[in-house]
Amino acid sequence: MAGIYVHIPFCKKACHYCNFHFSTTHSLLPQMVQAIAQEMELQARLAYIHEPIETIYLGGGTPSLLNHEQLQLLFTQIHRYFTVTPHAEITLEANPDDINHLQLQHWKAVGINRLSIGIQSFQEADLRWMNRAHTATQAVHCVTLAQQAGITNISIDLMYGLPGASNQHWLQNIEQALALQVPHISAYALTVEEKTALHKMIEKGKISPVYDEHQAEQFHLLVHILESNGWYHYEISNFCKPGRHSQHNSNYWKGVHYVGFGPSAHSFNGVSRQWNIANNALYITAIDNNQLPYEIEILTPLQQLNEYIMTSLRTRQGIQFSHISTNFGQPFNEKLLHAVAPFIQQGLVQSTNDGIQLTQRGKFFADGIAAALFQ
Ligand code: SF4
């Protein structure tokens, strides 16, 4: 089984914290959709992946900006060039201000059966400094609209550790999320990326900085509340009701193959990783000339092992020694045990039946611990 990712690199507004690849000028949007549709044909000819498709994910950017005809074109191409399994999970990333009755009907008509909604916060003041396009009222209303339209497989994105936001403020966001009865929540610590408007605002003292301790506190608060309410914390940033995990993202962490379309999209087939150029105009020109504008890297066994360490450490299951000995050789387990010893002593990592996993406290330091375990 494999996955498809489609990147739609356009947004209504530039959120002040965002460093993804997107443009707020939409003049190239129609040409972009044509180019992505053509890329699907070009990639299919190359047969980068062979397996049937069990998950499709439209991300961005803001794919909920696409109109019905544009979505229909993309799905026609996907079904023409790939074999999609009958019960495939098909997710659309949607912003609250794009969700309305008509769009929901269009999304259902092309087969979208899951929404990942970029809410970030239910509080107006947060949404304004973030420069989000939606309001707090829309943040709540859009979920109800989707549920009424019959799309109940909904994930909402939230951000914690916001500048100056108290734990009480964060608790209100969690309570509102729980009240909406969605089966999935993705929660991310706000990161201040260089070259973003947020970075400049903090430098100029227009907004307070973010603090690790503050973010760690709010992360642990979230984990505690959701787990006490029967939620399953299956990956550092992801929580679900039993059985309602994101199949697409879980497959990334399991090393399942996927092909990505659109500028900046990545693909992985177990042997190589490739990524498209992150420039809208150059991407369209290349595709118009029947060229795939990507760079490719053949992964060495060591790179594959490090990828496994990085992704599996973030999951509840953790790193499995049996997986390492089967795929990379037993000596790597010995090295790993040596490297992990200080983290076990500090109470950040613990042993499982067949490997190691992060402790509750260690989850907040996942990236640093993974880097220290790289072989
Ligand atoms: S809508 Fe999403 S991708 Fe677009 S600028 Fe905001 S955070 Fe970034």
Please report the pLDDT score of residue 364 as a whole number: 86
pLDDT of 235 reads 93
Residue 369 to residue 316: CA distance in whole angstroms: 15
As a whole number, mean pLDDT of residues 102-117 equals 98
Does 62 contact ligand 1 (Cβ within 6 A)?
A: yes
Q: Domain boundaries in the chain?
A: 2-253, 301-373
Domain 301-373 has CATH 3.20.20.70: no
End-to-end CA distance of the chain: 29
- pLDDT tens-digit readout, 289-338: 999 999 999 999 999 999 899 999 999 999 999 999 998 999 999 999 99
Could you say which of 3.90.1640.30, 3.20.20.70, 3.90.550.10, 2.70.98.60 is the CATH number of the domain covering 2-253?
A: 3.20.20.70
Predicted TM-score (pTM) above 0.85: yes
Q: What's the chain's average pLDDT?
A: 95
Q: Indicate which atom in ligand 1 lies nearest the CA of residue 132.
A: 6
β-strands 154-160, 184-189 pairing: parallel
**pLDDT at residue 178, rounded to an integer:** 98
What is the distance between the alpha carbons of residues 233 and 241, in angstroms, rounded to a whole number? 9
> Tokens at residue 96, please?
């609250």
Hey, what are 329's tokens? 């050789």
Q: Which of 17, 22, 25 to mutate to test the pocket of ligand 1 (most atoms within 8 A of CB)?
A: 22
Which two tokens mark 257? 């193959």
Q: Which atom of ligand 1 is nearest to 17's Cα?
A: 7
Signed CA dihedral, 159, 147, 153, 102: sign only: negative
Q: What is the pLDDT of residue 50?
A: 87
Among protein residues, the one whose CA lies closest to atom 3 of ligand 1: 61
pLDDT of res. 375: 82
Q: How many angstroms separate the alpha carbon of residue 11 from the centre of ligand 1?
A: 6
pLDDT tens, residue by residue, 229-263: 999 999 999 999 999 999 999 998 888 999 999 99
For ligand 1, whether the C-beta of 20 sits within 6 Å is yes
Task: Look at residue 270 in the predicted model and tell me its pLDDT.
Answer: 84
Confirm if 17 and 95 have CB atoms less than 8 A apart.
no
